[in-house]
Every structure is written in structure tokens, then in C-alpha cells.
Amino acid sequence: MRPLVAVLLSGLALGACDRKPAGPAATGPIVVPAAEVRGRQIDVRVTMKGYEPSRIQVRAGEEITLVFLRGEPNECAAEVVFPALGIKKELPVGKPVAIPIRAEKPGEIAFACGMDMLKGRLEVSAAPPI
């Protein structure tokens, strides 16, 4: 019986070493073609915890490109919606999606998944005086 247990445990250990993490790596910059990026690139990872970061600070008038990368097959995270901007984009697993935005005035711009369960926001501050 003991040899059988040892063999089974060995097989489980070897199988676990061969596994790859689900979804894209959670570190490092998200790479998209330069032509898709306008202004400052801000990477947003979509995980089981939600949007990371979920709070993004920008200046009024600043041109940014949010690059979303969905790492989990959770259907809730299949799209991102910016109701105030009329933006709705599908987020395929493992494929970066670039969304250029220019926030014209100070305030908050909410974004969420299509089911409105995962939430985030752009916090737009007044542009510094010239």
C-alpha cells in the first residue's frame, strides 16, 4: 500500500510542476502596437478581484489610452462599459484592448463590466494653471 501512495504522490507533484498559470502574466507592461496608443498609456488588468487599478487619476484635457487585459475567463468581465462616454468594448481573454480617452472636465468617469459588478473610475482633476 505504501509504494502505491508514494507513486501517486510523486505523480501529483510532477503534474503540478508542469502546470502554467491561467491567463496572462500579472506583471510588467501590457504591450500594444504604438499606433493604438494616444497620450499616456495606463494598463488595467481585469482579474477575479476586479479592475487593477480600479481608481485612475488623470488631468482634465489629458489624452490617455487605457489598455485593458482580461486574465480570467469570468463572463462578468467579458466587456467594459463607460456609460458617460458611450463606450462599450469586448475584452477577450489574454488580448489587450486599447481605449483612447480624453477627459475634458474635472470630475469622475465611471466604468464597469457589462453586468455592473466590477467597477472602476477615472478621477479627473483640474489641469494645472499655465
Coil/strand/helix, residue 85: helix
d(CA 34, CA 21): 28
Identify the pLDDT of residue 62.
94
Spatial strand order in the sheet of 40-47: 50-52, 40-47, 63-70, 97-102
Are 121 and 55 in contact by the 8 Å Cβ rule? The answer is: yes
Over the stretch 46-98, which tens digit does the pLDDT of each residue have? 998 999 999 999 999 999 999 999 999 989 899 999 999 999 999 999 999 99
pTM of this structure: 0.76
Q: Is 42 helix (H, G, I), strand (E, B) or coil?
A: strand
Cis peptide before 53 (omega within 30 of 0): yes
Written as nine digits, the cell of 18 is 508542469
Within-domain flag for 130 = no
The answer to whether residue 77 sits within a structural domain is: yes
Q: Domain limits at 81?
A: 2-125
CATH of the domain at 37: 2.60.40.420
Distance from the first to the final alpha carbon of the chain: 80
Query: Domain tally for the chain?
Result: 1
> Which pLDDT tens digit goes with each residue over 10-59?
443 433 333 333 444 456 788 877 777 889 999 999 998 999 999 999 99
Confirm whether 94 is domain-assigned: yes
Position 54 in a domain: yes
> Would you give the DSSP letter of residue 71?
-
